[in-house]
């Protein structure tokens, strides 16, 4: 039986970068690939950022590959219709609680960082962001009219023991395969939910991961430390909202956002299979959409994460990663990572180069 | 009648840096200065991070100068006793809703940034952080036991029209005296409270500040843009929690956290006076406390902000700022900003140098 993959290119540069991934998938073979709409594209076609049919498909396949969602065109839509709701529903309904966001500096691109090169050369952080809880999904929420004519906006940050422990476990397990260090990040000095987070992560570490060095850091300090000395981190585990900001900050430190993939994983079933969605860290970049300018590497490397985590096809994942390295070393660059002396290419030509290198 | 100032040195390096400020205050003259405890120091003496008496004093004086609070010694205290609660109570009870955090690169220190020098030379951002609302103070909050033996931690993010408009007004007014650009930051794509924030700031801009260029940015993107190209910003206005992370990130970009002051302001009364608290952006740095190593400049520049905002003594504020510049240009540096060829000095010698330069 072949592996089933649902491709959701989404908005902006999503379709262009995903087109290159499709070529690679066809090249690799053995996949039953379906394609569907999400985000603004789904709203334009169906009046909703994710149809129930697409949601059902996502639940049925072995893995989902997503491009990007959102854009100014849909910025004024009511809250429930925004492109982002499509992505958030996928995360929630598939119960993808662990979002793995590597912040990795490719040797060939160390100069591309806005940070001084020494501080980032060889950087390799793994941020594990909780993805189905916290203020993103907590109730009560909404905007209400007050008797005095004002309005009040409410969201609820909420975490249970269970939610904290399962994502912390993912971080500890990953750390064991890396440098065995986990830094857990919250605002335990200000928020009770953060204090609970700290206590539960510490208890899990004490009980089951004595071989992993666990530290705790306030989120504001973490934002600082990422800029001051990013190489101090191995694995960072944090909640949905802090993870959103800190992983983007860390990604930007690498200087090559167009290179960074991510994986969102659910719980393992009896057979060890996890529901999973893979997507580039970058957004839909509407300003360059449709111009053959976008860097497809982040999306291509998301495919490689998929091969590794969802299909146990690690050799092919290695092959893709090596091909990307070769292409970079050969000086072939899209606009976002081009530098003097390099060969500037477009999205499709970058896809050609990766395919050729494989 | 002389101006009344309450000094709260707090914990860690707080007392050392504040000692230098005291010398400057005495030198300037015209102040009736009281001193009291806050944070861990208050807890150790009185079993609470802020006594009602100190709170009453803070309400009575014209301005409060605070050093820093917190440290590992008090990390395991129950939530309500933590040093931070003292600072948070001051902010809340004095209704200091607008926290002004400049991120400024001093010419003499542009090399100190971890960012490439070109990207930060001349950087001058003003972050206006909402300080008495949002998830820091929202109810319900706390940790509860669930019937299944788990625990649940809850905090509430809540903002009303009124709270948003008054802090946005501070940002717009500041922008008018600067480059007339305000960037308002939230997660309107994910949080209804952020959507309300965006709508209310836009409505105020449309109604009263057509001369100020207003833009909106998601908080994750802002964390990225600060690292990518910080000079794109003039004034940033954001909520309490995002402001906590983003202002620390911006501060660290300058490479000289030990140089950055902040002001927290309340509403103006009929006579145009505002309750105000001034404090350095840096923390209590327990690792170097009591060793005459801390940089007193952030605290000294907080005094200068106090002279300007609370006492209309702008000429003296200018004098202090010029003296700090002179000292830096003369190569006199505490450990945090020292560089080859400079003269390393301690906390007290730095105070001497600033006094001499005045
Ligand atoms: C598009 C948006 C809903 C999303 C988020 O806030 O989680 C994005 O910023 C991300 O980090 O994947
Ligand atoms: C000490 C702490 C309560 C405080 C905060 O979170 O606001 C600090 O980080 C700050 O930014 O002033």
Please report the pLDDT score of residue A271 as a whole number.
87
CA dihedral defined by A163, A166, A168, A173, rounded to 10 degrees? -170
Contact B152 A158 (CB under 8 A): yes
Identify the H or E element spanning A206: helix A192-208
Quick check: A98 pLDDT over 90?
yes
Nearest-angstrom CA–CA distance, B241 and A157 = 12
pLDDT digits (tens, 9 = 90+) for A317-327: 999 999 999 99
Which chain B residues are closer than 8 Å to A191 by Cβ? 135-136, 141, 153, 155
Please report the pLDDT score of residue A1 as a whole number.
62
Which chain B residues are closer than 8 Å to A115 by Cβ? 114-116, 227
- Tell which residue, A303, A308, A300, has the closest CA to residue A326: A300
- Contact call for residues A54 and A36 (beta carbons, < 8 A): yes
- Contact call for residues B111 and B119 (beta carbons, < 8 A): no
DSSP state of A2: P
Please report the pLDDT score of residue A174 as a whole number.
97
Nearest-angstrom CA–CA distance, A286 and A294 = 10
List b or e across A103-126, with b for residues whose CB sees 16 or more CB atoms inside 10 angstroms.
bbbbebbbebbbbeeebbeebebb
Q: How far is the CA of A165 from the centre of ligand 2 (A)?
A: 26
- Mean pLDDT of all residues in B266-290: 95
Q: Searching chain A, which residue's CA lies closest to the CA of residue B143?
A: A192
Contact A114 B157 (CB under 8 A): no
Higher pLDDT, B126 or A256: B126
- Mean pLDDT of all residues in A119-141: 98
Q: Name the 3-class secondary structure at B113.
A: coil
Q: Which of A204, A223, A254, A337 to mutate to test the interface with B (most CBs of B within 10 A)?
A: A223
- Mean pLDDT of all residues in A65-71: 97
Residue carrying the six token digits 């191995």: A234
Nearest-angstrom CA–CA distance, A208 and A18 = 40
Q: Name beta bridge partners: A100.
A: A128, A263
Quick check: B68 pLDDT over 80?
yes
The CA distance from B311 to the nearest CA of chain A, in Å, is 31
Contact A153 B153 (CB under 8 A): no
Nearest-angstrom CA–CA distance, B1 and A268 = 72
The CA distance from A41 to the nearest CA of chain B, in Å, is 16
- Tell which residue, B189, B177, B185, B219, has the closest CA to residue B201: B185
Q: What is the longest distance spanned by two Cα atoms in chain B? A: 66
Residues 52-111 of A with CB under 8 A from B: 70, 79, 82, 84, 88
Q: Does B220 touch chain A (CB under 8 A)?
A: yes
pLDDT digits (tens, 9 = 90+) for A169-201: 999 999 999 999 999 999 999 999 999 999 999
CA dihedral defined by B259, B260, B261, B266, rounded to 10 degrees? 180
- Tell which residue, B356, B256, B259, B252, has the closest CA to residue B300: B259
Nearest-angstrom CA–CA distance, A65 and A36 = 11
Quick check: A333 pLDDT over 70?
yes
Quick check: B110 pLDDT over 80?
yes
- Find the catalytic residue in B43, B62, B136, B209: B136
Q: Does A120 touch chain B (CB under 8 A)?
A: no
Sign of the CA dihedral with B328 first, then B334, B339, and B344 last: positive
Nearest-angstrom CA–CA distance, B193 and A142 = 7
- Tell which residue, A108, A112, A57, has the closest CA to residue A332: A108
Q: Does B43 touch chain A (CB under 8 A)?
A: no
pLDDT digits (tens, 9 = 90+) for B284-297: 999 999 999 999 99
Nearest-angstrom CA–CA distance, A281 and A263 = 9
Domains of chain A: 1-103+261-358 (3.40.718.10), 124-253 (3.40.718.10)
Q: Searching chain B, which residue's CA lies closest to the CA of residue A165?
A: B150
Which chain A residues are closer than 8 Å to B141 by Cβ? 191-192
Please report the pLDDT score of residue B272 as a whole number.
85
Q: Provide CB contacts within 8 A for A310, sequence distance 6+.
A: A3, A62, A63, A273, A274, A276, A278
B35 HSE (CA, 13 A, CB side): 11
**CA–CA distances in Å: residue B76 to residues A188, B13, B71, B83:** 11, 20, 10, 11
Nearest-angstrom CA–CA distance, B52 and B48 = 9
pLDDT digits (tens, 9 = 90+) for A213-241: 999 999 999 999 999 999 999 999 999 99
- Mean pLDDT of all residues in A21-29: 96
- Find the catalytic residue in A248, A275, A278, A336: A248
B274 HSE (CA, 13 A, CB side): 22
Binding region of B? 71-84, 91, 101, 129, 220, 244, 248, 283-295
Cβ-based burial of A6 (10 A; exposed 0-12, middle 13-18, buried ≥19): buried
Quick check: A2 pLDDT over 90?
no
Structure tokens at B20: 């230098």
Q: Does A309 touch chain B (CB under 8 A)?
A: no
- Mean pLDDT of all residues in B168-173: 98
- Contact call for residues A334 and A347 (beta carbons, < 8 A): yes
Q: Provide CB contacts within 8 A for A293, sequence distance 6+.
A: A13, A334, A335, A346, A347
Residues 172-211 of A with CB under 8 A from B: 187, 189-197, 200
Question: Cα-flanking dihedrals φ and ψ of residue B63, to 5°?
Answer: -160, 150
Q: Name the 3-class secondary structure at A193.
A: helix
Q: Searching chain A, which residue's CA lies closest to the CA of residue B250?
A: A224
Which residues lie with the beta carbon below 6 Å from any ligand 2 atom?
A: A 189-190, 220; B 69-70, 84, 87-88, 244
Residues belonging to chain A:
358
Q: Searching chain B, which residue's CA lies closest to the CA of residue A142?
A: B192
Residue carrying the six token digits 């960037």: B183
Structure tokens at A116: 């001084």
Q: How confident is the model at residue B231 (pLDDT cuts 50, 70, 90)?
A: very high
Query: Is A136 annotated as catalytic?
Result: yes
- Mean pLDDT of all residues in A131-142: 98
Contact A220 B248 (CB under 8 A): yes
Nearest-angstrom CA–CA distance, A132 and A110 = 33
β-strands B274-280, B261-268: how paired?
A: antiparallel
Question: Cα-flanking dihedrals φ and ψ of residue A13, to 5°?
Answer: -75, -5
Please report the pLDDT score of residue B1 as a whole number.
61
Which chain B residues are closer than 8 Å to A136 by Cβ? 190-191
pLDDT digits (tens, 9 = 90+) for B76-105: 899 999 999 999 999 999 999 999 999 999
Give DSSP secondary structure letters for B44-85. HHHSSSS-HHHHHHHHHSSEEEEEE---GGGTTS-GGGSHHH
Contacts A–B by Cβ distance under 8 A: 192
Q: Which pTM value belongs to this model?
A: 0.96
- Tell which residue, B84, B135, B222, B252, has the closest CA to residue A246: B222
């Amino acid at each position: 039986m072949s592996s089933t993959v649902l491709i959701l290119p989404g908005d902006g540069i999503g379709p262009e970068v995903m087109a290159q991934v499709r070529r690679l998938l066809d090249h690799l073979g053995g996949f039953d690939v379906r394609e569907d709409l999400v985000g603004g594209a789904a709203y334009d076609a169906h009046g909703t950022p994710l149809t129930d049919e697409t949601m059902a498909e996502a639940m049925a396949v072995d893995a989902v590959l997503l491009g990007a969602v959102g854009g100014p065109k849909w910025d004024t839509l009511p809250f429930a219709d925004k492109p982002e709701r499509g992505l958030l529903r996928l995360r929630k309904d598939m119960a993808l609680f662990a979002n793995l966001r590597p912040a990795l500096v490719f040797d060939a691109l160390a100069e591309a960082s806005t940070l001084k090169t020494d501080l980032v050369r060889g950087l390799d952080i793994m941020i594990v962001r909780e993805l189905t809880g916290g203020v993103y999904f907590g109730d009560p929420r909404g905007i209400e009219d007050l008797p005095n004519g004002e309005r009040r906006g409410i969201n609820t940050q909420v975490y249970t023991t269970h939610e904290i422990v399962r994502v912390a476990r993912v971080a500890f397990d990953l750390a064991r395969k890396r440098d065995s260090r986990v830094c857990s990040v919250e605002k335990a000095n200000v928020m009770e939910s953060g204090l609970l987070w700290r206590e539960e992560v510490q208890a899990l570490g004490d009980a089951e991961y004595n071989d992993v060095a666990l530290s705790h850091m306030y989120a504001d300090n973490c934002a600082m430390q990422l800029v001051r000395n990013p190489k101090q981190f191995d694995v960072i585990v944090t909640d949905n909202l802090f993870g959103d900001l800190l992983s983007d900050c860390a990604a930007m430190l690498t200087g090559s956002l167009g290179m960074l993939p991510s994986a969102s994983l659910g719980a393992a079933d009896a057979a060890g299979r996890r529901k999973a969605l893979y997507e580039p860290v970058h957004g839909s970049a509407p300003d360059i959409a449709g111009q053959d300018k976008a860097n497809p590497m982040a999306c291509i490397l998301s495919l490689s994460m998929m091969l590794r985590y969802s299909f146990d096809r690690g050799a092919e994942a290695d092959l893709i990663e090596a091909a990307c390295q070769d292409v970079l070393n050969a000086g072939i660059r899209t606009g976002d990572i081009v530098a003097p002396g390099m060969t500037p290419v477009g999205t499709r030509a970058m896809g050609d180069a990766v395919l050729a290198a494989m």
